[in-house]
Amino acid sequence: LQQRRGLRLSAPAAIQVTVRDALNQALDEELERDERVFLLGEEVAQYDGAYKISRGLWKKYGDKRVIDTPISEMGFAGIAVGAAMAGLRPVCEFMTFNFSMQAIDQVINSAAKTCYMSAGSIAVPIVFRGPNGASAGVAAQHSQCFAAWYGHCPGLKVVSPWSSEDAKGLLKASIRDDNPVVMLESELLYGVPFEMSEQAQSKEFVIPIGKAKIERQGTHVTLVSHSRPVGHCMEAAAVLSKEGVECEVINLRTIRPMDIETVEASVVKTNHLVTVEGGWPQFGVGAEICARIMEGPAFNYLDAPAVRVTGADVPMPYAKILEDNCIPQVKDIVFAVKKALNI
């Protein structure tokens, strides 16, 4: 009636959605869409998930689609890989990726290499997902970032979301992909709300694996990051903007395959590069980005050496004040940008 009268109807507004709810929404939609999809892991069913990512899914889909497992990562990861080889599409949740070390033989030797070793005749469409990187107050054995570990291995795709849209779109794309995908989430982001566009609220919303996103346009320096540190980069960019420095912030979204073309195009524009990550410096994601830039056409456009901001090169301390000093903070990014720009 309003349209008949010539009145313009406004589109549904964007809404605030937490990363936890975005992941839950993605799982729900994909379980509903494809009966081959199932979720397994510790406490994912009756307890609704250790982080409540799978809240309500067991009651909706039952024991065959949402499966509680024993505390045996090697065991249930192996079951999931075998199910994928047999034509199902498992989503295997690790309570933390630190515990995926118990199952790394299944992830690397069984999942990642099978398509190649079978000359393409056996696909392994599986998603390994769960929290990665530092949490809060959980010490060294629960606070590593595995982006560089898994990003090192051919045969895997590795995604690392920041926002709620990242989380939903990348999880849906990962479940639909015919290759094994490692999805590295951040426990500290689960309860954080982000704006979700009308497009992202669609059941068919997916984010292409292997495509970075420019979160903020800038002209003076390129900041490249993934997962939670993207937020720190956005905060640092806001601080630096008040001092007349405009940062271009790139959210990698995918670690492997890496969208180096987007980074190169930005470096050609800004002539400066700073990488930011929560992982250790040696052989890290930032080290790979710097190497790719040095080897490619964008190197000739750099006006100063690239600068890496990383976690400290030590096992994570338990004490909060030491933990804070081991994780990149906004002030560290601001310092690195000023170093790169020589100001």
Q: How high is the pLDDT of residue 1? A: 43
Q: Which residues are catalytic?
A: 73, 142
User: What pLDDT is stored for residue 196 in this prediction?
Assistant: 95
Strand positions, DSSP E, 212-286: 213-216, 221-225, 247-251, 254-256, 273-276
Tens digits of per-residue pLDDT, 133-165? 998 889 999 999 999 999 999 999 999 999 999
In this structure, the chain runs to a length of 343
User: Is the peptide bond between 70 and the residue preceding it cis, with omega within 30 degrees of 0?
Assistant: no
Cα distances from 288 to residues 172, 293, 300, in angstroms, run 27, 9, 18
For residue range 166-221, list pLDDT tens digits in order.
999 999 999 999 999 999 999 999 999 999 999 999 999 999 999 999 999 999 99
Quote the pLDDT of residue 12.
62
CATH class for domain 213-341?
alpha beta
The pTM of this model reads 0.93
15-201 topology per CATH: Rossmann fold (3.40.50)
What are the residues facing 40 on neighbouring strands?
A: 67, 92
Question: Are the folds of 15-201 and 213-341 the same?
Answer: yes
Spatial distance between the Cα atoms of 205 and 315, rounded to a whole number of angstroms: 38
Q: What pLDDT does 10 receive?
A: 53
Peptide bond into 315 cis (omega under 30): no
**Rg of the Cα atoms in the chain:** 21
pLDDT in tens, 98-137: 999 999 999 999 999 999 999 999 999 999 999 999 988 8
User: What percent of the chain is modeled with pLDDT above 90?
Assistant: 94
Q: Give the other-Cβ count within 10 Å of 283's Cβ.
A: 13
The domain spans of the chain are 15-201, 213-341
Q: Give the pLDDT confidence of 68-80 residue by residue, as tens digits.
A: 999 999 999 999 9
In tens, the pLDDT along 305-331 reads: 999 999 999 999 999 999 999 999 999
